Amino acid sequence: MKRELTFILNGEAVTTEVDPQWTLLYLLREVLELTGTKEGCGYGECGACTVIIDGQAVNSCLFPVMEVEGKRVTTIEGITSKDGSMHPLQTAFINEGAVQCGFCTPGMIMSAKALLDAKDKPTEDEIKEAIEGNLCRCTGYVKIIDAIKSAAGGR
């Protein structure tokens, strides 16, 4: 049986019908067609589905959609400015060559954003800890860490 729920998605209130057994990831990708958020493993291991809920990085593949009621959700689509210009993290990822196949990138950027929102100048250890739940199978971690550092420095 479908249920109606309302939450704030990328700054705008959204009211939508959901099936109680959906995950937030299913709602985002298959219903709202925000396919920037990726499904990698579906078990919370890879972090490709990371979104920010009320300021905290969360695996959307493990997040029951019914729990999103009234929460503020930010996805990779929601971090660009209103005029369409990229977020400093996105620019930094491009400049530092931190994108290879690109599949992990949205999750990486969301984890990094949650960190930078909470902390202006994170240490390298804090950066590593923030992205420890994000797998990059192109194994470009060094450049990803460089990119996050440079985005933090540029603020």
Minimum CB separation of residue 82 from another protein in Å reads: 28
Nearest residue (CB) to another protein, 83 versus 120: 120
The answer to whether residue 36 forms part of the interface with another protein (CB under 8 A) is no
With CB under 8 A as the contact rule, which of the stretches 6-14, 38-46, 78-86, 136-144 interacts with another protein?
Answer: 38-46
With CB under 8 A as the contact rule, which of the stretches 27-35, 53-61, 73-81, 144-152 interacts with another protein?
Answer: 53-61
- Polymer length of the chain: 155
The answer to whether residue 39 forms part of the interface with another protein (CB under 8 A) is no
* Strands (E) located in 19-102: 50-53, 56-59, 72-74
Q: How far apart are CA 15 and CA 19, in angstroms?
A: 13
Q: Exposed, middle or buried: residue 21 (CB in 10 Å: 0-12, 13-18, 19+)?
A: exposed
